[in-house]
Structure formats: structure tokens, C-alpha cells
Chain A
Amino acid sequence: MGQALHQVSRLRGAVLAVVLLGLIAPILVGLAETARAAFGVLPALGLNAWSLKPWRMLFAQPGFGSSLRLSVVTGLGSTLIALALAVGFCAAAPGRMRWLPPFLAVPHAAMAVGLAFVLAPSGWIARALAPVMGWVQPPDIASVHDAWGLALMLGLVVKELPFLLLVMASGLSQLPVARQIAVGRAMGYGPGVAWIKLILPQLWPLIRLPVWVVLAYGVSVVDMAIILGPSNPPTLAVAVLRWFSAADVAMILPASAGALLQAGLVVGCIAVLWGAEGVLRVVGRWWLRRGGRGMSWAPGLQLARVGVWGLIGLAAVALLSLMVWSLAWRWSYPMIWPEAWSGGIWMRADWGKALINTLVLAGVTVVLSLLLAVFWLEAEENLTRAAWAEALIYLPLLIPQIGFLYGLNVVFLRAGISGGYGAVVWAQALFVFPYVMIALSEPWRALDARLLRLAAALGAGRWRRLIALRLPMLLGPILTAAAIGVAVSVAQYLPTLFLGAGRIATLTTEAVTLSSGSDRRVTGVYASLQAALPFAAYGLAALVPAWWHRNRRDLRRGGV
């Protein structure tokens, strides 16, 4: 037994070392490299002395204050709205939510392009209203790119809501919801109130991290902010990207300072959320003890339900519009449908190579991340969970990409490994691995440990228990985690661009490059493919376990 434990901790040590050296160290080194430039040290430009000049340049940028405020408001606002809607929805209508995958699968940029078309003054909604309102020309209103960032917030909520619903559903599956609600109902609490008072406090610790991830993403998002957000000034992350790519190379200095500030902003916003959690804990306890039965919650929950279905409907319309655009030849205002159709764009757009690159990268990255996740979780057995180590895994999701990618690129170049598939796989794994862990760890830990103990009692060794018992039983969650990994890998833009030296064209890099052009039809082709690939992965994740377990009644539950 002592030796076995020793082995386990050795395995864990090895996995931890891989994660630390392979995933965390590059980020910290990248961050350090950015920080050096943020404090004036940039030898490539002949700058070798530490100074605060980059910060002074940053604060002097016109619109800097507005950019900062926009980032905070849109990031925090969209997270809180999405959270409130998801809570309200789960409190009112628990269910399987089989319709989630397509909305999870679509990358942010593709969703944003679709939404922009639906919402624009010349977009689908305006075209439907045009005959009624007598709009011969599109109205001159700011329905996207509005100065308050409302369209951006809407886009973020639409995209983050399905993710929050997914993690909530996964968290809820571990709680004795029905029993506790029944007890609560018996004591006279209304259905929604019982859920919020009894279940939510238990659910929160399970979803806290994913909510932070959503918050970090919302505060530092680039692609959605370009497509839906205001431009003068844009959010901080977009402004930083503009400065990084300004013709005046000296702008790298304030850009680096801004990138560092962006990282600080995320930490600050998470701290605000954490502080609010502390306050709510005190207030909530008082509220719970007061014992109000609160029948009046029903309208609020109903509102959340309507809100969720409204947003999901909007997302579906946005996706549909992309597919229609990819098949359109001419489609001008105020036509509801294209006046000329064509399959020509599909035939002509050179997407074959990008598709293969995307598939290869997703395949390799996801397999590596899954292996690492399985080893991590397997090594965890019999040992206490190390919270600090777990927190480290999620670091890449919490630190804005723009904060460390420039520095990471310099580090990789110095090591001579940039510009190849290896570097891109590595960079993508930074982001794929944490999501795979989020998706896999709860089902893994929830597996009935008695089965494994029984197998051990029957003489099955560690590896046999893993391969013959645990992995097949967890086939559904493993494939779901893989599908999420594929979606994350497909959506990666900046890591692929920076570390592939721009040479490795994927569907996402092509889609973003082409959306800098003016052809929405071509964007439609790439965005449809971008969405189709993860969707296929989710489909397989649902079908394969069902077929594999076709003669195992109690395992026939599928993924997601």
C-alpha cells in the first residue's frame, strides 16, 4: 500500500511538472516579457533603461478612460446578466437542454458576425420592419457599435449563456436537487424560491470558477468587441491590439503597458465579484434565516425564462443568417431574402487547406489535453485535492491572451520553436486543457467509487481499473470534454496567429482575416464551417456513447 501511494504521488508529481513547465511557465515568462516592455525595456528598438514612460504614454492616449470604463461595464455587465438569466432559467425549468450544443459550438467571432447582420440598421430585423416603418433607406441609428457597448454586451450574453447553462447543469447533476426541493416545498417555499434558497448556495462553489472564466473573457474579448463594440474609442483590449499593430513601432510601449493593465483589470473585476460574494454570503444568511416564503419570485423567473428563450432565438436567427449569406450572390436592403443565390462562394473559397489544418490541430491538441487531464485526475485519486495546483490550471483562462502572447512569442522564438505546428499545438493546449478539465473533472469525481473498490477487491490493478472500468463508463463525459476541446481549439485566433507566425491558416484565422474585407458571403462560408466542425464533434460525443453502450442500459445517457 505504501509503495502504491508512493507511485500515485510520483504520477501526480510528473503530471504537475508537465502542467507547470509546459503550460504555466510559458505564460509567466510571456507575461514577464510583456512587463519588461511595459517598463521601457525593448532591446529590439534599442531601449535598455527601465522607465515609466510607457505608462505615461498609455494614460495620455485619447479616450483611454472611456476604453477602460467600456471594458469594465461590458465585461461585468454581460457576466452578471448572463448569470442572472442562467440562474433564473435553471430555477424555473430544469431539464436536459439537448439544444445547447450548437450554441456552444459556434465560435464567438462567427456568432458576432451573424448578430451584427441581424441587428444592424440595414440588417434582418430592420428589413422586416422596413415596410411597416416606411424605411426606404436603413435608419441612421446605432443598433450596433453603440457608444455604450450595449450590442457588445448582448453578443457576450448570447454566447456565454449556453456555457453557463452547461456548467450549471453539470453542477446540478451532483446535487440531490429533487429531494431538497421537495423538502423545501413541503415547508411552504415557492418552487423558484426553494431553488434559490436551497440549491443555489450549494451550486455556487461548483460554478464559481467557470463564472470567473466568463468574466475574464468578457473583460478582455477582442474579436466580438471589434465586430459589435464601439470604435471611438473601442474597449481597452481592442485599443491595445490597435497600438500593438500601429505603424509607429514605439507604440509597442504603451501597448505593453495596456496589456499588463488589461491583466490587472481582469484580476480587479474578479476581486469585485469575490467581494460581492462575501457580502451576499452575510446578507444571504440573514435572508435565509428570516424564513420568508417569497411567493412573489415567480414573475422574475418567468422573465428569465422568456429572456433565455429570446436570446437563444436571436442566436439561432444569427446562425441562420450566416448560412443564408454563404449561399447568396446579391442580397441588398430591404430584401428579406437574397435576390440572387449561388453556390459559387462555397466552390471558390479556398477553405480545404484551412479545414485540414484546423482538424489536425484540434485532433492533436484535444488528444494531448485529454491524456493530460486523465492522468491528472487519475493521479488525484487517494490523495487530497490540491486547490492551489488546480487554480494554476485555469490561469491561462483568467489572464487575457493579449497580456502574454507577444512575450510568449519572443520566448518561443528564442527557443527556436515558433512558426510550426508544434508551437501552435502547444499554445492552443494552454486554453484547451483547462476547458477539458472543467468538463471532465466533475463527472470523473462523481463516478461511484464503490465500483472501483469492488474491482480492486477482485484483484484488478490500477491500470486495469482505469482502462477496463473507469474510461468506458466515462466515455460520454470524455467525449463531451473532447467536443468542448474541439470547439475551443477551433475558435483560437490570437495563439494560432502569433505562434504560427501567421503561416498556419485555420478556419478561424481565415474568417477573421476575411472579415477585415467586405465580403459577408465569404465570412458566411468560413463561419458556417467554423460552427459545423465543433457541432459535428458534439454530435459524435452524443452518438458514439449511445452506440457503444447500446447493450448497457444504465450507461445509456449520452453526453452533455
Chain B
Amino acid sequence: MKLPLVAALGLLFATPALADWAQTLAEAKGQTVYFNAWGGDARTNAFIAWVGAQTEAQYGVKVEQVKLTDTAEAVTRVISEKAAGQDTGGSVDLIWINGPNFLAMKDQGLLHGPFVADLPNAQYLDLATSSAASVDFTVPVEGMESPWRLAKFVFSYDSAKVAEVPGDMAGFVDWAAAHQGRMTHPDPSNFMGATFLKQALIELAPDPAVLQQPVTDAAFATATVPLWAWYDALRPNLWQGGATFPASGEVQSQMLNDGEVDISMSFDPASTAAAIAEGTLPATARVFVPKAGSIGNISFVAIPYNAAHAAGAEVVANFLLEPATQAHMQDITVLGSFAVLDPARLDDAGKARFAALPKADALPALEDLGPVLLEPHASWMTRLVAEWAKRYTK
């Protein structure tokens, strides 16, 4: 481990960018990075703890996870720091972020960067302007956040209890009518509930292409007509008559485990296999996706403009992109999250690492997951959630 590092250091000074990186490393040494990340998943927490142990050993950078119940907490914290005029030495160094939270921070000028291109491991990413790693909910990333794990919307169900699952979103209406009260979705104020609606919107909208543009009144009205018709047919047959909804995808997963519903949903294709290993889902739980594909996006890390330990945060962001780190992360016995690296850019050793990962019954292969549908522009989500509340909250 040490020797290649020394060799790498020798190479570092060959280009100005790498010289900068050496400076970043030097600056980062001894720093403690406060990584603000949603803390509701014990496996993710354990993975972040492992990352911290590695970066401390390799670069002298400690990582402390600040466990959030909602990413917006970290955004609010940075805003209140800005409100108090604390423009340096902020308490948030690194945030697990994407979508609307990223858009909000980028719009408000609350982010440090661009920094992604300076990370040595950015060489393994496909950073072409239209690639998944360069666009977050249609918002150009522009180097202000660095990818670390792949998210794809999937459903999970208990194969011992349910023989047939809906083939597409439209199919949920008949399925729910045949299985009254056995299906629900998280409250749309939670991103998982909103994603369920977005998935249906993409499938049902007369012209899905408009979803990639910022929302307008006219576009919203036309695009959502079939969605509300579909939802009005679905809702009466939902769990508890569609009068109340679980607070999050995790709570719904617990309901699947309790047998209160037959279908749950997640943004992590590996979460079902992981939950079985953890004992929080029955061994017969499996994953399915709508045939036409499902929404996929990438989880990023971003650094606030006033972060006290920006250098350390960059080192952590870079470490998260190491092929070895990404392979460790994709290991189902560790976390099982799919890697964000471009396989074509890996060397043979890197490819071999991924090929050697263990398998699990409930872990879908990447090719079983169907095509990746692009997230609509973030403004659609805000609008969709507001409209849903207007229609169904009395």
C-alpha cells in the first residue's frame, strides 16, 4: 500500500493540477471532516465509519458522520450560518446530497467549488455533459458535487405471499383492486413518496420530454391529467383507504416486514438483499422494476461554501471514488450500492475487483433493472408534491 503511494507522490508534481492536489492533501492532514449524511441506515453508517478509518490511516483525515433525519437539516444549518454571517469555519464540511437540495444550495450560492475536476479519481468518471454523473435532476452539476453511489428506484415484495406483481405503473390500479389495502406509498413530503408519483408521471405523461424542462403552468396541467386519473383510481384501494401514509420508504419497508403491506419501495436495488442479511425482511423478499425502466439518479457529496475543512472534504470525496472503495461499497456483504464509475475507464485490476464480488439471491443483476429513466427537472417534484397535497390533504 505504502509503496505505490510514494510512487504516486513522485508523479504528483508532474502537472500543476496534481501539484494542487498535493497541496490539498497537505492542508487536509489532521483535519476532521463533518460528513452530514442521512443516518437512518445502519449499513450506510457503518460504511461511512469504514471510510473514516481508511482516510485517517491513508491521509490523516478523520471523518465524523453527522447523522441527519433529513438532508434539508444540513441545508437549513448552512442557511442559518449564513444568516448569522458565519462565512468561514462553518459546521458542515461535506453533505450527502442530490436533487432539490442541491438545486437550492447551488441557487443560493451555498456551495464550494467547482472542485470535482481537481480530484485525481475523477479520471474514472464519465463526465461528458450529458452523462448521469454530470446532471442531477436535469440540473448541470458543473463540478459543484461529486458522485459516490448509484440510486435506482425499485419495488420490493415478498415472493412467498405475492404471486404476481404489476408490470408497469398503470398495472398498480388493477393489482390494488385485487389486493385491497395491501399496497401504499410513503407520504409525498418524503422523497420516496414523491419518487413514486414521479415514476408514474414519467410513464403516464402524454409527452415525457417536457419533464426535462423547468415546469410551467400549462405543461403541468397537460402532463398530469392522466396521472391524477390513475391516482384517483388507485387511492381507494390503498392501505387504510389512502387516508394516511407511512412517513418514509424505510417505515414502509418495516410494514412489509410486519406483513401490513405486500409491496415496498426503495432507491437502492441492493437494499432488499441487505435487509434479508440483516434480518429485517423475510428471506423470500425480492425486487421488481416496471418493465419500461425506472427512475435512476446518482447520490453526490457537496461541500458548503463556508466549510471549515474543505480540503479534508475533498480528500474524502476523492477517496469515495477510488475503484477499491467503490468495489467495497458494491459488495453486498458491506453495502451493496452500485458503483458510479465508468467501467470502460477501469484498468484490469479494477475490473477484476468488481467481477469477484459475492452474489445474493435477492440482489438483482444490473441488466435485470431495466433502462434508467431520467429524473424530471427538480421544479416538477416541488410542483407535484404541492399539487398532491392540495388534492388529497383535507
Do they bind each other? yes
Q: Per a CB cutoff under 8 Å, which of A63, A244, A249, A522 touches B394? A: A63
Known: A63-B389, A247-B99, A510-B67. A44 touches B259 (CB 8 A): no
Q: What is the total number of residues of chain B having a CB less than 8 Å from a CB of chain A?
A: 74
A164-172, A195-203, A230-238, A364-372: which lies at the B interface?
A230-238
Distance between A166 CB and nearest chain B CB, rounded to angstroms: 31
Closest to B65 in A: A505
- A140 to B180, Cβ gap below 8 A? yes
B245-253, B313-321, B355-363: which lies at the A interface?
B245-253
B139-147, B223-231, B275-283, B328-336: which lies at the A interface?
B275-283
List A contacts of B84 (CB < 8 A).
410-411, 413-414
Known: A517-B40, A520-B254. A414 touches B75 (CB 8 A): no
Q: Tell me whether B58 is interfacial, beta carbon within 8 Å.
A: no
List A contacts of B247 (CB < 8 A).
226, 231, 516
Those of A500-520 within 8 Å (CB) of chain B:
501-503, 505, 509-510, 512-514, 516-520
A185-193, A329-337, A544-552: which lies at the B interface?
A329-337
Distance between A238 CB and nearest chain B CB, rounded to angstroms: 10
The complex places the Cα of A330 from the Cα of B279 at a distance, in Å, of 6
Those of B96-117 within 8 Å (CB) of chain A:
99-101, 103-104, 108
Q: Per a CB cutoff under 8 Å, which of B75, B85, B258 touches A332? A: B258
- B67 to A142, Cβ gap below 8 A? no
List A contacts of B83 (CB < 8 A).
42-44, 410, 413
List B contacts of A121 (CB < 8 A).
260
The complex places the Cα of A231 from the Cα of B394 at a distance, in Å, of 11
The complex places the Cα of A92 from the Cα of B258 at a distance, in Å, of 41
Q: Per a CB cutoff under 8 Å, which of A42, A147, A247, A513 touches B40? A: A513
Q: What is the total number of residues of chain A having a CB less than 8 Å from a CB of chain B?
A: 68
Closest to A501 in B: B91
List B contacts of A44 (CB < 8 A).
79-80, 82-83, 108
Known: A122-B260, A137-B259. A244 touches B40 (CB 8 A): no
Distance between A286 CB and nearest chain B CB, rounded to angstroms: 43
Secondary structure at the A interface, as helix, strand, loop or mixed, is: loop
Distance between B76 CB and nearest chain A CB, rounded to angstroms: 6
Q: Tell me whether B390 is interfacial, beta carbon within 8 Å.
A: yes
- B243 to A502, Cβ gap below 8 A? no
- A509 to B67, Cβ gap below 8 A? yes
Distance between B161 CB and nearest chain A CB, rounded to angstroms: 8
Q: Tell me whether B181 is interfacial, beta carbon within 8 Å.
A: yes
Those of A117-159 within 8 Å (CB) of chain B:
120-122, 137-138, 140-142, 145-147
- A503 to B244, Cβ gap below 8 A? no
Distance between B267 CB and nearest chain A CB, rounded to angstroms: 13
The complex places the Cα of A413 from the Cα of B88 at a distance, in Å, of 12
Q: Per a CB cutoff under 8 Å, which of B40, B180, B260, B392 touches A514? A: B40
Known: A231-B247, A418-B91. A503 touches B64 (CB 8 A): yes
Q: 4 smallest A-B Cβ distances: which pairs?
A: A247-B100, A517-B40, A140-B181, A413-B84
19 A-B pairs with C-beta separation under 8 A: A61-B389, A62-B393, A232-B392, A247-B72, A247-B75, A247-B103, A252-B76, A329-B279, A414-B86, A418-B91, A502-B68, A513-B39, A513-B69, A516-B38, A516-B40, A517-B39, A517-B41, A518-B254, A518-B257
Interface, chain B (partner A; CB < 8 A): 34, 36, 38-42, 45, 49, 64, 66-70, 72-77, 79-86, 91-92, 99-101, 103-104, 108, 180-182, 187, 189, 191, 239-240, 243-248, 250-251, 253-255, 257-260, 275, 278-280, 282, 378, 381-382, 386, 389-390, 392-394
Given A245-B70, A248-B382, list of 4 further CB < 8 A pairs? A232-B393, A249-B76, A340-B279, A519-B280
Interface, chain A (partner B; CB < 8 A): 42-45, 61-63, 66, 120-122, 137-138, 140-142, 145-147, 226, 230-233, 242, 244-249, 252, 329-330, 332-334, 340, 342, 348-350, 406, 409-411, 413-414, 416, 418-419, 497, 501-503, 505, 509-510, 512-514, 516-522
